[in-house]
Structure 1
Amino acid sequence: MRTLSDVTVVVLALYDGAMLFEAAAACEVFGVDRRLTDSWYDFRVCGPSGARLGDWLRLDVPYGLDVLAEADTVVVPACADVTVDPPADLVDAVRAAHERGARLVSLCTGAFVLAAAGVLDGRRATTHWEHTAALAARYPRVEVDPDVLYIDGTDVLTSAGKAAGMDLCLHIVSADHGAAVANALARRLVVPAQRAGGQAQFVVLPAAAETGHALAGLLHWAGERLHEPLTVADLADRANMSTRNLTRRFRSTTGVTPLRWLHTQRVHRARELLETTDESVERIAARTGMGTAATLRRHFHRALGVPPDTYRRTFRTPPRT
């Protein structure tokens, strides 16, 4: 556990185009003293006067970016448009705070601000799953992990999208004040102190295979037969190719090997069935070519970070009445 003297001053750095939800999460966690411990954070909000917060508010905050020079922890919320360069003065202030020894925290796409400041170079980081590819492409020196809810790099911490920002804030409270205080705060906020799994379970299921490439027919054929014990040799025979040629074509077209594609499609089909049916895990395992419930549970947990039963409780679509 960190000593409180290391993290007394927490500054939320707002800017034009920052998002309301993530900013509010930081305010609720760090900015409200609920008397859960003897001393809480000295929480401050800074930013340029008149900047937009979400699509509804204009900022009127008591501090400018110069207060980052006093911060022990700097929290950077999400930005609305990741294609726009973050404000240069914010990037410079964040970099200077880090060089001085401040702990940096990004919530959701706030990671783009940290990346622009260079503090994520050579580090593992995450952001909202919709933007992980953009972060990796724009900042190739950052090791982007698209599957986790948050990453604690000790002095630089990043979270996935939206509610994952709350997960990270509670994790920080636990690191600073202990698990008991973090758990008590989570109960007050009516949120889980620690959620199971990573953000992979929230990624939107892929659409049906596109029809504009040479393997489209094969992918459709295989997608209709996921319940069968298909092998790479079966796919190659169907495509009238050698397994070596098929693997090369598969990589160039889909970015993955045929076996990895089959595995991913089976997990996705299992997700759909868990969300939309009441079928048993054993039946879903058979329908997705996994064979046994144990095999499905193992592959599902490895892919999404949660077991099938937990996933179903979270995402089951109620039947229409």
Structure 2
Amino acid sequence: MLIGEAARDSGVSARMLRHYDALGLVCPTGRTVGGYREYSPDDLRRIFHVECLRSLGLSLRQIGRALDDPEFTPTALVADLVRRSRDRLQREQELLDRLRAVDSSGPAVWDDVRRIVELLHGLASPNPARRQQTALASADAEPAPAQVLAEAMLTESDENVAGALRWALARAGGEGMAVVVAGLASDDVAVRRRAVFALARTPGDEVTAALARALEDPDAMVRGHAALTLGGRGEPAAVPILVDMVMTGSKDVEASEALGAVARHRAEEASRVLDALVGALATHAADAAVRLRVAQALAELPGAGATRVLADLTRDPDRAVALTASAIWRTRAGDSMSEVPVGHVAVDVTSRG
């Protein structure tokens, strides 16, 4: 077939086919008597192969090598294309992130753009010391790039740098908190952990609501940190997780203090916290370590109900539990032995025999 027919059947312009011929990429098999290019079915198939590889992003030079190399393997080619495409997308994403960061700060003059770009470069440094210095220096930047700081904090693996970023973010105001709250929904558990840790230092109803949602996070560390923060703020929604932390010994001291904060926040919560602890204690009654942690947690709870449970624990068969409960009970009830409840024997906390 002549070049016009080949162009029609392949969808490649006659001009491009002449270019392919000049490069030696697709040379027509023959020529007519008049010197016109004449393409065979094999030539047409090669044109389709060229177009297929072009659609994958290969240059014409790479296509020629691939089609003429007898050792050519599609698997190696595709793997290389995947790698290069991924690298290109990463560069494009980084550029897009920088542009969004500049745009979100609302730069008024080119000096604002320059400062933000310098901040982005500093925070992207492979040197943690430079990233930390950049974060600390950003507190003096105008306008305050809160979104940039928040995004950097969520991806920062060095704790010293993350601390500097949290400090700078607090100085920048609340604009970046929406980014941090959004971090709680990340698929990356490390990002969610950084987000919940940063929000623990941030007041506000929106933050409290976000932390309440984090109580259902699949990661125990995220759930636990959210519960500790909410408990410290007197939020009763945190009680089940805090009680579980006492039972399992995961930050049980901090969890006990948070339960105490909930119990002191509202009078009606004190009995609910006590009931939750007693219920969990009954479930784990055979575990002396659990009974010991419950005794220590009861020290944080106000009210006569907690005192009565402690009095029961003074008779615990495990000496460590009995000693601990007795010491806490005597502190709450007074040191006078006449105040020991009827039917209970106070344990001498000074005895080690």
Structure with higher Rg: it is 2
TM over 0.5, yes or no?
no
TM-score bracket, shorter-length normalisation:
under 0.3
Larger RCO, structures 1/2 (Cα 8 Å, 6+ apart): 1
Normalized against structure 1, the TM-score is what?
0.26
The structure with the largest strand share of the pair is 1
